[in-house]
């Protein structure tokens, strides 16, 4: 039976029933104000003439609406460049993360070479090291990559490749593969499938749920990332939105700047609304793995 | 691999006892290695190597012109002698403390209340999680706009409607850190709410039924069933929050740039300044030394924490 702290008989007591309902109403109002309020404020200010924002900070549309801010931010300010950059950055990071996590997860979970446990231990160990520790050495690696006589600064490789070193992804995918039925692998092997065939035609198609989780978080995290692209992408022509936006704040009209912020928020919010289940369940999944 | 291949390989296995390269390949050794290559390449160059290099660099003087030279503990000493070092630790600890006071109980209370919702529970969860998906840079810049200290700032106008005088928010050394914590809590609370909601679903209904047989009221059920059942996850979110807040960077960097009067210079901001805002160029040694100290400190804290809490759960 689906019950929580309150039992059906608790719910029948009028005092309990109405105070819980009141509390739920308060929670809902607080959530709406805190969750939607700031975004609504952003949307309203983005289409309000700057003079009105300054004179009537919380009034709605005293002197009409100015829709042109979005076009100004997109074209004149050239936000479209960084918008496309953000898409390229997240697409590249997504591909690298998927390749590394699935191949490594498959080798460690299904093929199981003798040295696999050591490697898995070395991957797990990186989970316990704060990213800040490798900030400077990683910057120097990007500046002078080994074997490659060419700096990766101001190229997307500088954000794509390090994104693949996510121990979290490898652990998540390996654990999922561990729980796939071994009989299916045995059957495929007996039918003559080699390691590559098994990976491509059996394991990957069975792993859509976990690939979905890894994909969504790869894309959202790329969209949220700030410090690392700030360090390695100094040229505005290759910067994602997150790095470009702070540089704009003192250069342009307030409402155009806020329109640029709004543009940067739309894609993650749409992804969240469409794939809600992944987030609201995936976060629990993340908590379970961390535990 | 075809059937013939397999018979061949079993013959070789019988013929040659030792593992020759050919049997290694047929036994799947090469395939394993090929599948591991992307991970070895990426983790090797972008994770394992930089970790080792961080330790080495903290004992070196590194700049981009000449070869690095070993300088012993010099980097650590010059970090200790920097007056901002002490300030940054105090500020970071203050941030962590405020974030715990604001941010630790709220998601738990919210999740316990939300899990009792019968209809539209998904709506509650989605609303709570919404701020988490807003890109941090947008969230910070938006709140910076809200925090405008003039009487016509967004928050100050809201306060004025309750007849409260305008506040300086992030422009005042005493208010800057609490203002940053408020924004950071808003941005992060949703993900913890979702974790607690998942954990609350896992609390067995039998436990509640049993405690009701023993005559427990609502508060007793929360105290004797819900909280003990959540103890594992509560202990983990507590230490994860400490580890996370110790590495706060975006908020002080974008909202206040460490100001006013260095009141929001955090450890990570100091590391960033050593490495990337050093006018002399290349405070890389100091930056890695400080980041290593932070990592060791967090590791010690975590180990001690898990030792202590383990002995609690045994009692």
Domains of chain B: 3-57 (no CATH), 75-314 (1.10.3720.10)
Indicate the SS3 state at residue A106.
helix
pLDDT at A77: 87
Count how many Cα atoms sit within 13 Å of the Cα of residue B85 in the half-sphere of its side chain: 17
> Which range among A159-173, B106-120, B125-139 shows the weakest confidence by mean pLDDT?
B106-120
The first and second tokens of residue B211, run together, are 């405690």
- Asked whether the predicted pLDDT for residue A252 surpasses 90, the reply is no
- Asked whether the predicted pLDDT for residue B15 surpasses 90, the reply is no
Of residues A136, A220, A279, nearest to B288 (C-beta):
A136
SS (H, E, C) B12-28: HHHHCCCCCHHHHHHCC
* Cα distance between the two ends of chain B: 57
pLDDT at B11: 44
Q: Which helix (H) or strand (E) holds B56?
A: helix B49-57
- Burial (CB count <10 Å: 0-12, 13-18, 19+), residue B21: exposed
Prior bond of B260 cis (ω within 30°): yes
Q: Cα distance from A67 to chain B (closest Cα, Å)?
A: 19
Tokens 């983005």, residue located: A46
- Asked whether the predicted pLDDT for residue B177 surpasses 50, the reply is yes
Distance in angstroms (rounded) separating the CA atoms of residues B186 and A253: 27
Q: What is the pLDDT of residues B246-270, one digit of tens each?
A: 999 999 999 999 889 899 999 999 9
DSSP classification of residue B259:
-
pLDDT at B280: 55
Higher pLDDT, A195 or B11: A195
Q: What angle do CA B202, A271, B197 make, to 5 degrees?
A: 15
pLDDT at B129: 93
CB A96 within 8 A of CB A164: yes
Higher pLDDT, A282 or B141: B141
DSSP classification of residue B61:
E
CB contact under 8 A, B35 and A106: yes
Q: Give the pLDDT band of residue A172 (cuts 50, 70, 90).
A: very high
Nearest residue of A to residue B125, measured between CA atoms: A280
Q: Cα distance from A49 to chain B (closest Cα, Å)?
A: 15
DSSP classification of residue A134:
G
CB A179 within 8 A of CB A209: no
Of residues A35, A170, A226, nearest to B127 (C-beta):
A35
Q: Is the dihedral of CA B243, B144, B137, A28 positive or negative?
A: positive
Nearest residue of A to residue B221, measured between CA atoms: A5
Q: What is the pLDDT of residues A95-140, one digit of tens each?
A: 999 999 999 999 999 999 989 999 999 999 998 888 899 999 999 9
- Supply the mean pLDDT for chain A: 89
The first and second tokens of residue B280, run together, are 């002399």
Higher pLDDT, B217 or A274: A274
Q: Give the pLDDT band of residue B23 (cuts 50, 70, 90).
A: confident
Residues A226-243 have a mean pLDDT of: 94
Higher pLDDT, B209 or A107: A107
Among candidate residues B120, B113, B231, B190, the one with its CA nearest the CA of residue A4: B113
Ramachandran quadrant class, B163 (left: phi over 0; alpha: psi -120 to 50; beta: rest) = left
Helices (H), chain A: 8-12, 14-35, 37-46, 50-55, 68-71, 79-106, 116-127, 135-143, 157-163, 167-178, 182-190, 195-197, 204-206, 208-224, 227-232, 241-248, 254-274, 276-290
pLDDT at B153: 87
Mutate to test the interface with B, among A5, A11, A198, A273 (most CBs of B within 10 A): A5
Q: Is the dihedral of CA B301, B238, B264, B59 positive or negative?
A: positive
Q: Which residues of A touch B45 (CB under 8 A)?
A: 141, 145-146, 161
Distance in angstroms (rounded) separating the CA atoms of residues A291 and B202: 14
- pTM of the shown model: 0.89
- Asked whether the predicted pLDDT for residue A285 surpasses 70, the reply is no
Q: Which residues of B touch A140 (CB under 8 A)?
A: 53, 62, 284
Counted across chains A and B, CB pairs separated by less than 8 A come out at 292
pLDDT at A243: 95
Q: What is the pLDDT of residues A30-53, one digit of tens each?
A: 999 999 999 999 998 888 888 888
The first and second tokens of residue B90, run together, are 């105090």
CB contact under 8 A, A57 and B221: no
Q: Cα distance from A266 to chain B (closest Cα, Å)?
A: 9
CA–CA distance from B92 to each of B96, B98, B155, B249 (Å)?
6, 10, 25, 10
pLDDT at A291: 28
User: Structural domains in chain A?
Assistant: 8-71 (no CATH), 77-290 (1.10.3720.10)
Q: What angle do CA B167, B161, B254 make, to 5 degrees?
A: 35
pLDDT at B20: 79
CB contact under 8 A, B154 and A24: no
Helix axes A167-178, A208-224, angle to 10 degrees: 170
Residues B150-155 have a mean pLDDT of: 87
CA–CA distance from A62 to each of A33, A54, A256 (Å)?
22, 12, 18
CB A138 within 8 A of CB B276: no
CB contact under 8 A, A57 and B152: yes
Residues A268-277 have a mean pLDDT of: 91
- Asked whether the predicted pLDDT for residue B18 surpasses 80, the reply is no
- Burial (CB count <10 Å: 0-12, 13-18, 19+), residue B215: exposed
> Which range among A144-148, A208-212, B277-281 shows the weakest confidence by mean pLDDT?
B277-281
Q: Give the pLDDT band of residue B282 (cuts 50, 70, 90).
A: low
pLDDT at B14: 46
CB contact under 8 A, A242 and B287: no
Among candidate residues A156, A123, A166, A159, the one with its CA nearest the CA of residue A138: A159
The first and second tokens of residue B137, run together, are 């840079």
Q: Cα distance from B209 to chain A (closest Cα, Å)?
A: 8
Mutate to test the interface with B, among A133, A152, A203, A252 (most CBs of B within 10 A): A133
CA–CA distance from A249 to each of A74, A246, B72, B260 (Å)?
15, 6, 43, 19
Q: Cα distance from B20 to chain A (closest Cα, Å)?
A: 16
DSSP classification of residue B68:
P
Q: Give the pLDDT band of residue B291 (cuts 50, 70, 90).
A: very high
Count how many Cα atoms sit within 13 Å of the Cα of residue B166 in the half-sphere of its side chain: 14
Indicate the SS3 state at residue A2.
coil
Q: Give the pLDDT band of residue A2 (cuts 50, 70, 90).
A: low
Q: Which residues of B touch A108 (CB under 8 A)?
A: 36
Q: Cα distance from A54 to chain B (closest Cα, Å)?
A: 6
Q: Give the pLDDT band of residue B16 (cuts 50, 70, 90).
A: very low
CB B268 within 8 A of CB B249: yes
Instruction: Write the ipTM.
Output: 0.90
Q: Is the dihedral of CA B112, B113, B119, B123 positive or negative?
A: negative
Tokens 């070092």, residue located: B85
pLDDT at A282: 54
Contacts 24+ apart (CB under 8 A), A148-156: A152/A232, A153/A232, A153/A233, A153/A234, A154/A232, A154/A233, A154/A234, A154/A235, A154/A238, A155/A238, A156/A85, A156/A88, A156/A89, A156/A92, A156/A233, A156/A238
Q: What angle do CA A36, A246, A252 make, to 5 degrees?
A: 95
Residues A197-201 have a mean pLDDT of: 93
pLDDT at B68: 85
């Amino acid at each position: 039976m689906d019950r929580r702290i309150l039992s059906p008989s608790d719910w029948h007591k009028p005092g309990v029933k109405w105070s819980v309902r009141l509390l739920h109403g308060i929670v809902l109002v607080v959530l709406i104000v805190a969750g939607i309020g700031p975004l609504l404020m952003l949307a309203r200010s983005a289409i309000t003439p700057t003079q009105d924002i300054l004179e009537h900070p919380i009034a709605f549309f005293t002197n009409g609406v100015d829709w042109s801010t979005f076009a100004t931010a997109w074209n004149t300010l050239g936000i479209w460049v960084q918008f496309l950059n953000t898409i390229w950055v997240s697409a590249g990071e997504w591909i690298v993360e998927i390749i590394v996590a699935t191949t490594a997860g498959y080798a460690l979970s299904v093929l199981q070479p003798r040295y696999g446990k050591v490697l898995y231990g070395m991957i797990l160990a990186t989970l316990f090291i704060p990213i800040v520790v490798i900030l400077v050495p990683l910057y120097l690696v990007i500046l002078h990559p080994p074997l490659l006589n060419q700096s990766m600064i101001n190229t997307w490789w500088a954000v794509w490749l390090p994104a693949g070193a996510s121990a979290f992804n490898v652990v998540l995918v390996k654990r999922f593969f561990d729980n796939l039925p071994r009989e299916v692998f045995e059957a495929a092997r007996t039918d003559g499938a080699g390691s590559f065939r098994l990976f491509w035609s059996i394991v990957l198609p069975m792993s859509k749920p976990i690939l979905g989780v890894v994909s969504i978080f790869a894309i959202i995290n790329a969209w949220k990332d700030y410090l690392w692209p700030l360090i390695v992408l100094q040229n505005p022509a290759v910067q994602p939105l997150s790095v470009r936006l702070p540089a704009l704040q003192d250069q342009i009209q307030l409402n155009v700047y806020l329109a640029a912020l709004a543009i940067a928020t739309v894609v993650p919010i749409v992804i969240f609304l469409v794939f809600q289940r992944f987030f609201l369940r995936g976060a629990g999944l993340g908590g379970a793995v961390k535990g | 691999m075809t059937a013939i291949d397999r018979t061949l390989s079993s013959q070789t296995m019988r013929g040659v006892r030792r593992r020759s390269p050919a049997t290694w390949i047929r036994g799947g050794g090469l395939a394993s290695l090929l599948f591991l290559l992307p991970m070895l390449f990426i983790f090797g160059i972008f994770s394992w190597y930089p970790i080792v290099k961080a330790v080495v660099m903290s004992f070196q003087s590194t700049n981009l012109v000449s070869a690095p030279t070993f300088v012993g503990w010099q980097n650590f000493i010059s970090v200790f002698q920097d007056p901002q070092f002490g300030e940054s630790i105090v500020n970071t600890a203050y941030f962590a403390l405020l974030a715990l006071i604001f941010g630790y109980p709220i998601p738990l209370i919210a999740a316990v209340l939300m899990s009792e919702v019968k209809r539209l529970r998904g709506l509650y969860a989605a609303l709570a999680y919404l701020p988490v998906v807003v890109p941090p840079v947008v969230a910070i810049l938006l709140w910076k706009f809200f925090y405008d200290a003039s009487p016509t700032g967004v928050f100050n106008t809201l306060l004025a409607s309750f007849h409260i005088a305008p506040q300086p928010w992030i422009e005042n050394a005493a208010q800057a850190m609490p203002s940053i914590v408020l924004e950071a809590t808003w941005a992060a609370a949703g993900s913890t709410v979702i974790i607690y909601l998942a954990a609350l679903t896992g609390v067995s209904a039998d436990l509640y039924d049993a405690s009701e047989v023993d005559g427990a009221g609502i508060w007793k059920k929360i105290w004797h069933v819900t909280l003990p059942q959540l103890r594992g996850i509560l202990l983990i979110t507590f230490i994860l929050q400490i580890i996370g807040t110790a590495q706060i960077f975006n908020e002080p960097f974008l909202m206040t740039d460490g100001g006013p009067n260095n009141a929001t210079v955090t450890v990570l901001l100091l590391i960033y300044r050593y490495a990337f805002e050093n006018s002399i160029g290349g405070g890389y040694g100091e930056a890695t030394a400080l980041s290593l100290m932070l990592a060791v400190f967090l590791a010690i804290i975590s180990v001690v924490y898990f030792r202590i809490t383990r002995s609690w759960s045994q009692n």
